[in-house]
């Protein structure tokens, strides 16, 4: 698995340093990577890692559990946890509309007004397959590890589609990357 680094204009907004006494709770829906942990080791944080990419593709069988039940079982979040930051990476590009809505419904009790959200969308639906593993090297730098095999169920989502699905979130900023991905910064409105 090869890896590169990628500058990010939005990461620093999510990881903005404020009060040194403040403890921050972060949900990362990607893989726990060494560089990410090394980066956070400087801070007072509680990290939740739930790599949903390993469970793709998510489907609903006729008599099986629905998306909500599946996400609740995969995430297993304590009832009282509230996230200050949620890192979705490009997970939305691998879920259908119903799955995205279900995931957000499961997460909403664990968000608070102002929870910051990072995700990747796409400029258009023709963007090449994604699904890389992302880590954090520095406040303004991501690590990108390319998978040897493409993940199933890829359907790149333009920002307009995501905005229609994420009605409880404010889209604050987006950055169009050279490869056609959109880096998105949002927050939960509550």
Partner 1 sequence: MIGTSIYIKGTVTGEEDLVIQGKVDGTIDLGDFEVSVGESGKVTADITARVVRIDGEVAGDVTGSEKVVIAKSGRVRGNIIAPRVTLEDGAIFKGSIDMDPGDTRQGLAPVRTEKAGATPASNPAKNPEMDLKSG
Residues of this chain that interact with partner 1 (CB under 8 A) are: 7, 9, 15-24, 26, 31-34, 37-38, 40-51, 84-85, 112-116, 159-160, 163, 170-178, 187, 189-190
Q: Which of 27, 62 has the CB closer to partner 1?
A: 27
Nearest residue to 122 (alpha-carbon basis) of 87, 170, 89: 89
Q: How far apart are the first and last CA of the chain?
A: 39
Q: Which of 34, 61 has the CB closer to partner 1?
A: 34
Q: CB 182 → partner 1: shortest distance, Å?
A: 9
Q: CB 73 → partner 1: shortest distance, Å?
A: 12
Q: Which of 16, 62 has the CB closer to partner 1?
A: 16
Q: Which of 48, 120 has the CB closer to partner 1?
A: 48
State the angle between helix axes of 97-107 and 67-75 in degrees (0 to 180), rounded to the nearest 10.
Answer: 50
Task: Provide the 3-class DSSP secondary structure of residue 83.
Answer: strand
Are 129 and 151 contacting, i.e. CB atoms less than 8 angstroms apart?
Answer: yes
Q: CB 98 → partner 1: shortest distance, Å?
A: 22
Q: CB 62 → partner 1: shortest distance, Å?
A: 28
Q: Which of 85, 95 has the CB closer to partner 1?
A: 85
Backbone angles phi, psi at 167, to 5 degrees: -70, -20
CA–CA separation, 1 and 126 (whole Å): 24
Q: CB 170 → partner 1: shortest distance, Å?
A: 6
CA–CA separation, 71 and 50 (whole Å): 10
Are 140 and 14 contacting, i.e. CB atoms less than 8 angstroms apart?
Answer: no
Task: Provide the 3-class DSSP secondary structure of residue 125.
Answer: coil
């Amino acid at each position: 698995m090869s890896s590169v680094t990628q500058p990010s204009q939005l990461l620093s907004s999510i990881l903005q340093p404020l009060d040194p006494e403040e403890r921050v709770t972060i949900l990362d829906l990607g893989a726990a990577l060494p560089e990410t942990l090394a980066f956070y080791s400087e801070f007072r944080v509680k990290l939740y890692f739930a790599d949903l990419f390993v469970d793709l593709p998510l489907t609903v069988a006729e008599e099986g559990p629905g998306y909500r039940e599946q996400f609740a079982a995969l995430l297993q979040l304590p009832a009282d946890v509230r996230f200050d930051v949620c890192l979705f990476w490009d997970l939305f590009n691998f879920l259908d509309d119903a799955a995205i809505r279900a995931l957000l419904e499961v997460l909403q009790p664990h968000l608070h007004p102002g929870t910051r959200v990072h995700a990747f969308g796409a400029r258009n639906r023709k963007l090449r397959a994604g699904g890389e593993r992302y880590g954090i090297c520095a406040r303004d730098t991501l690590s990108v590890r390319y998978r040897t095999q493409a993940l199933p169920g890829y359907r790149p989502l333009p920002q307009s589609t995501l905005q229609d699905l994420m009605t409880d979130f404010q889209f604050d900023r987006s950055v169009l990357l050279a490869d056609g991905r959109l880096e998105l910064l949002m927050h939960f409105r509550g």
